[in-house]
Structure 1
Amino acid sequence: MIACAAMLADHLSKALSVPDPVFLLLSSMIGRIAFPIFCFLLAEGFFYTHSRGRYIRDLLILAVLSEVPFDLALHRSFFDPGYQNTCFTLLLGLLLFTCLDQMERKNLSLNKSRAAQAAVLALFAAAAWLLRSDYGVYGICCLAAFYYFRRLPVQAAFLGCFILNLDGFGARPLSWL
């Protein structure tokens, strides 16, 4: 609920074009906490779901259905190919988790496994960049942090937020607050 409320505050302020810069800054700062929470929940859900295929399917449906309202609210068009909603980034993260999990199950040697996992991570980061999904490469890296540090959630949260701030520090000053 916290993540949804934070995301709603951020998106409403942008969709309603509120002219107050302080309000916009505050709502943006509040909204920045949503994505790391969603990343944590997605990683946890991946390990506890009974049907990963259904989890992927449902997130795909959500991503597609939410794209039109997202584009209408933020870009004033039915479809903006230059920017896709966060659900597409989360979907790519879920697919990344699936690939990484399969690789871990194959028990490759440590060096081969790390190289292969890095290559898969790079592939999904490139896909996020090509799709122009929200949070892009940094979102995929944040999701990977929650996957790899799933047994250390506090460290995962700090690392995920650090990664996201690499993206937001220059473009959104004070987003790290």
Structure 2
Amino acid sequence: MWKRLQLNQGIPNFNWFRMKKALNVSEQIQRDGRVDLLKWIALITMIIDHIGIVFFPDEAIYRVIGRIAFPIFIILLAEGAVRTRNKKAHLIRLWVFACISQIPYLLLIDPYVLNVIFTMAIAVTCIRLPYLIPVVFIGLMIIPVDYSWYGVGLALIYYYLRKWPGIACILAVNLTFLYAIQIGSFIQFWAVIGLVLPLIIRKVSFRIPNTSKYFFYWFYPVHLAILFIISKVY
């Protein structure tokens, strides 16, 4: 009798566990849909920026739109550093694609600066090995890397303050203003849109099809190479 009662009491608990698991999976899918949307926004604005650099260097609107991309990429990078199942593989993958991307980057954008994936790889290295942070920031004063200390600092803010996205956004906006003043670029102020946009999308409920993570890794060097070929043909 007692055993039968125990079994009957165990059934609701088991069903509750299954229901809770299903809700978590649903929530994960929905969150991934938002992440993919942000990735697509960042990709499209980045392409517009690079098209402007190559084909319309005197048109500021392309650069304004392009400022939206980098903050979104960095916010997603910080979130990915938390959610990744294999931290070592994630870091190695960033360094590998940084090296792969450097050739088309130096051909198309700047032969004297390391591309933005190096910035991301350096940022995740600081996340995994925080005792290197002072050394890294000193090194960034010497080695030219795209977005330099600003990019790494932005990633650290969103990683360590991930539970307080509002506070992270406020600090990131201030960091953006400092960086814009340092480089003397009014256009950089428009990056604030890329900092606020994830907070807005976080409140929206929708789903879009997930895209392979390797697509986004390969997209950067491939689109640079394509733009370089087009620039030489036309």
Name the TM-score, length of structure 2 as normaliser: 0.59
Unaligned runs of 5+ in 1: 101-116
Determine the C-alpha separation between the residues in 2 that align with 1:89 and 1:128: 10
Whether the aligned pair in 2 keeps the contact of 1:126 and 1:137 (CA below 8 Å) is: no
Aligned-partner residue type, residue 166 of structure 1 = L
Match of 1:26 among 55, 61, 65: 61
Distance 2:126 2:168 in 1: 17
Give the aligned partner of residue 60 of structure 1: 95
Shift of 1:72: 1.0
Cα pair 1:128 1:137 within 8 Å, conserved? yes
Match of 1:8 in 2: 47
- How far residue 121 of structure 1 moved from its aligned partner, in angstroms, is 2.7
2:213 aligned residue? none
Distance in 2 (CA, whole Å) between partners of 1:44 and 1:162 is: 21
2:141 to 129, 148, 157: 129
SS at match of 2:142: helix
Q: Which residue of 2 aligns with 1:173?
A: 186
Secondary structure at the residue paired with 1:64? helix
Deviations 1:41-64 (Å, cap 9, x if unpaired)? Answer: 111111111101110111111111
Name the Cα RMSD after superposition: 1.7
1:89/1:128 contact within 8 Å kept: no
1:158 aligns with 2:197: no
Residues 36, 157 of structure 1: 8 Å contact kept: no
Higher mean C-alpha deviation, range 41-50 or range 162-171: 162-171
CA distance in 1, matches of 2:146, 2:176: 11
Q: 2:54–2:108: 8 Å Cα contact kept in structure 1?
A: yes
Q: In structure 2, do the counterparts of structure 1 residues 158 and 135 end up closer, same or farther at CA, with 3 Å as the change threshold?
A: same
Residue 108 of structure 2 corresponds to residue 73 of structure 1: yes
Matches of 2:134 and 2:174, distance apart in 1: 19
1:124/1:140 contact within 8 Å kept: no
The alignment covers a number of residue pairs equal to: 150
State the identity as a percent.
Answer: 27
Give how far 1:138 is off. Answer: 1.6
Counterpart CA distance in 2 for 1:64 and 1:38 is: 18
Q: Which has the higher contact order (CA 8 A, sep 6+)?
A: 2
For residue 110 of structure 1, what is the aligned residue in structure 2? none
Deviation at 1:32, TM superposition (A): 1.1
| 1:114-157 deviation per Cα after TM superposition (whole angstroms, max 9, x unaligned) | xxx6xx43222223333311011121211111112111123223
Give the TM-score normalised by the residue count of structure 1. Answer: 0.77
| CA distance, structure 1, for counterparts of residue 163 and residue 120 of structure 2 | 20
